[in-house]
Amino acid sequence: MSSAPEDRIRLIDTDAVPAHIAVIMDGNGRWARQRNLPRIAGHRAGIQSVREILEASVELGVGALTLYAFSTENWKRPPSEVRALMELLREYLDREIDNLDRNDIRFETLGDSSALGPVIRSELEHAVERTADNGGLRFNVALNYSGRDELLRAVNAILTQAKDDPRLLEGVTEEHISRHLYTAGLADPDLLIRTSGEWRVSNFLLWQIAYSEIWVTDTLWPDFRRPHLYDAIIAYQKRERRYGGLTPALAR
Ligand code: FPP
């Protein structure tokens, strides 16, 4: 691309910005290893990317940004790394909550937060409550999240409901399932970004990404900044979204 990275914003059609962007932030460990730093230094650098991508999303008018911060599988990491990640999240909330609120951002978490420590849980609850009435960008952080677990919970919740409402046993609709997901009330992501060149969805938003456009970049998450987001959106805007149907040209 010939234009300077920051100038690429001009190539974005501001009327067709994805309403919901989801991101699998990957490559923090490799970023740190390349610099002979401990893995946590990569996570720490990744926080700056979180700030920048959130800020750019607000500026561009993105409706929702969902970041995959901690999967149910991430508990398999060394306890020191898990502790450090939770501490980073706590620090982030401490520092940013005023700023999120001031910018009308609504903060929410996706996942089973009951398994998180009491301190981080109460900070998260506080942030969710404090920003609950904000009408700007919806900022969702997936924590102790698993897409399969989310679907199982939805199915089990519907089965429980069916005890009182046996009509459910005649058939469950997509709406029933969507209503029982952590993302209830949120539009599905239009664009799923994964950094660090891995072509996997890693148990993230399995139901919700059915028709998302996927953008994989080799850039490691701590290096993923505004211009990289612009590139992903520019590529998204060149895609033809067919949702399984045909475009007029193909239908002829
Ligand atoms: C993946 O890199 C990254 C994570 C598992 C954690 C990402 C979390 C943050 C950036 C902090 C979250 C904070 C907020 C505020 C949302 P990796 O460790 O798997 O990297 P590797 O594949 O190179 O080892």
Which residues sit with their C-beta closer than 6 Å to ligand 1?
25-30, 43, 46-47, 50, 67, 69, 74, 85, 88-89, 92, 141, 196
> What pLDDT does 5 receive?
72
Dist CA 70 CA 75 (whole Å): 8
**Closest listed residue to residue 39, CA positions, set 219, 216, 199, 222:** 222
Measuring from atom 7 of ligand 1, which residue has the nearest CA? 69
pLDDT in tens, 176-235: 999 999 999 999 999 999 999 999 999 999 999 999 999 999 999 999 999 999 999 999
pLDDT recorded at residue 169: 87
Nearest-CA neighbor of 221 among 195, 197, 200? 195
Could you identify the residue written with the tokens 């009408």? 135
pTM score of the predicted model: 0.95
- Atom in ligand 1 nearest the alpha carbon of residue 49: 10
Question: What is residue 50's DSSP assignment?
Answer: H
pLDDT of 1 above 60:
no
Determine the straight-line distance between the first and last CA of the chain, rounded to whole angstroms.
34
From 13, 15, 26, 190, active-site residue? 26
Angle at 33 between CA 84 and CA 77, to 5 degrees: 40
Query: 200 with 176: CB under 8 angstroms?
Result: no
Task: Give residue 2's pLDDT band: very low, low, confident or very high (50, 70, 90).
Answer: low
Res 6: pLDDT:
75
CA angle 122, 51, 88 (to 5 degrees): 40
Calculate how far, in angstroms, residue 62's C-alpha sits from the geometric centre of ligand 1. 22
Atom 16 in ligand 1: which residue has the minimum CA distance?
69
85 Cα to the center of ligand 1, angstroms: 8
Which of the listed residues 26, 40, 68, 76 should we mutate to test ligand 1's pocket, taking the one with most ligand atoms within 8 A of CB? 26
Catalytic residue among 13, 28, 74, 101: 74
- The yes-or-no answer on residue 134 being catalytic is no
Structure confidence at residue 252 (pLDDT): 64
- 252 C-alpha to ligand 1 centroid (Å): 46
Active site residue 26: yes
What CATH number has the domain spanning 16-145+191-201+209-239?
3.40.1180.10
The span from the CA of 212 to the CA of 90, in Å, is 30
Q: What is the pLDDT, as a whole number, of residue 251? A: 67
Q: Give per-residue pLDDT as tens, 158-193.
A: 999 999 998 888 999 999 999 999 999 999 999 999
What count of other Cβ atoms lies within 10 Å of the Cβ of residue 183? 23
Say how many residues make up the chain: 252
- In this prediction, residue 63 carries a pLDDT of 98
pLDDT in tens, 36-59: 999 999 999 999 999 999 999 999
Domain positions in the chain: 16-145+191-201+209-239
The pLDDT tens digits of the residues spanning 76-110 come to 999 999 999 999 999 999 999 999 999 999 999 99
